Amino acid sequence: MKPSLKKENQFSKINKNKSAGPHDGPFIFMTINLIRARLIQRKNRFVASVLIDNTETEVYVPNTGRLSELAIPGARCLLAESSGRYRYKLLYIFNNGFPVMIDSTLSNSLFAELLVSKKVPGLEKFKLLRREPVYGRHRFDFLIAENKNSCYVELKSCTLFYRDVASFPDAVSSRASEHIRELAKIPESRLVILVLNNSAEVFIPNYHTDYEFYKTLKENSDRIVISSFRIDYNDQLEIKRLFPVPVIIPEVSKKGFFFMVISDDNNFYIYISGECSDVFDEIKKIKRRRSALKDSLFSANPIRILKDFPVITDNLSTGNTIELFTNSGGIKIKGTSSCSSRVFRFKHNPLEQRWFHEHVLKLRFSPYTSER
């Protein structure tokens, strides 16, 4: 079934209110035909299987991020026709009823259109000189200028949200950290976070997932202009305005705990660590001691570590977590007085369950929500 998202041109601008200010009036960005689908699973970084009119089809995924919190089996999504190996590519995944653009190349095109249309708050006087400019040996997203003052801009698309908190990145990105370091060497440079969500009120660098990015951003925050904007668009993809979103770079250590999702031939497991002074170092140690980890699962089969979830926090209470895991079908199989770690066994993969991802997001970002 195709939705009513049909326009003739791929990119067009419409301002129905000529007296409106530079950030008012609808702006229609995507006008290609889109196809409704349901996500079955993301098979790898570049391929997902979806359901179109009860027919399973493989589609291209134009995003190398994890998208773990979005790409949940059963999630609604929108596809566009593709000229590549696959007939369709995945363009949007719905999150709490809102279509989140996951095509990073389209995010860059969107920002360029908004910049040219004078719809980026604080950058109305800037002109777009060049896309993908090179400075030294590095390529950035945009070169813009106000009068004779030029500025290099790196754009990052943010697809990770919890309530009114947005965060980036959703996976470890050494490339993003390198971009920050190189931007800091340029006299005039900007990092722009484009938040693809209509409810974000604050942006936080995701130190839980990529502590190096957080550290690099914090160390260079006085050398780079850092700004974040959320876009407000509806299911017709009319962008009504761009909202500035405050950027918070808190002071945090590496103290906390972590979850580790594991599988064997028969079951899935969630390992909950005890308190760690350095979560990331402890995860490395656990992965090196695979035999000890296997023993803690009481499994006779080979095990696979599917994913780990660090949680940087001073609040180390796991009571709510244990209750949630038990109510969600988990069976507790370990807990000792000498070690505060716990293991729960599941029949179904927690990575494919929305409740698990929502719980991890809550633990990570609830201190920054307006409801805290």
Structure confidence by residue, pLDDT tens digits, 73-105: 999 999 988 888 999 999 999 988 888 888 877
CB 62 within 8 A of CB 102: yes
CB 7 within 8 A of CB 31: yes
Q: How confident is the model at residue 231, as a pLDDT? A: 84
Give the separation between CA 175 and CA 77, rounded to whole angstroms: 28
Give the separation between CA 303 and CA 270, rounded to whole angstroms: 12
> Do the strands 202-205 and 165-168 form a parallel or antiparallel pair, or are they unpaired?
parallel
Q: How confident is the model at residue 95, as a pLDDT? A: 85
Q: How confident is the model at residue 338, as a pLDDT? A: 39
Q: Which residue has the tokens 């991802």?
A: 357
Q: How confident is the model at residue 84, as a pLDDT? A: 84
Q: Which two tokens stand for residue 281?
A: 């170092």
Q: How confident is the model at residue 190, as a pLDDT? A: 96
Domain ranges for the chain: 34-99, 104-244, 256-368
Q: How confident is the model at residue 162, as a pLDDT? A: 93
Interval 237-253: pLDDT, tens = 677 778 999 999 999 99
Q: Which two tokens stand for residue 53?
A: 């009119």
Please, what is the Cα angle at 70 between 286 and 53, to 5 degrees?
130
Fold of domain 34-99: OB fold (Dihydrolipoamide Acetyltransferase, E2P) (2.40.50)
Residues of the chain under the 70 pLDDT cut: 1-32, 234-237, 334-340, 371-372
Identify the CA nearest to 68 among candidates 45, 97, 38: 45
Give the separation between CA 227 and CA 70, rounded to whole angstroms: 24
Q: Which residue has the tokens 């326009």?
A: 7
CB 266 within 8 A of CB 259: no
Q: Which residue has the tokens 């770690």?
A: 341
Q: Which residues on neighbouring strands pair with residue 276, listed in sequence order?
A: 256
Tell me the CATH class for 104-244: alpha beta
Give the separation between CA 11 and CA 109, rounded to whole angstroms: 9
Please report the DSSP string for 23-40 in residue order: T-S-EE---S--EEEEEE
Instruction: Report the amino acid identity of residue 59.
Output: V
Please, what is the Cα angle at 206 between 203 and 178, to 5 degrees?
105
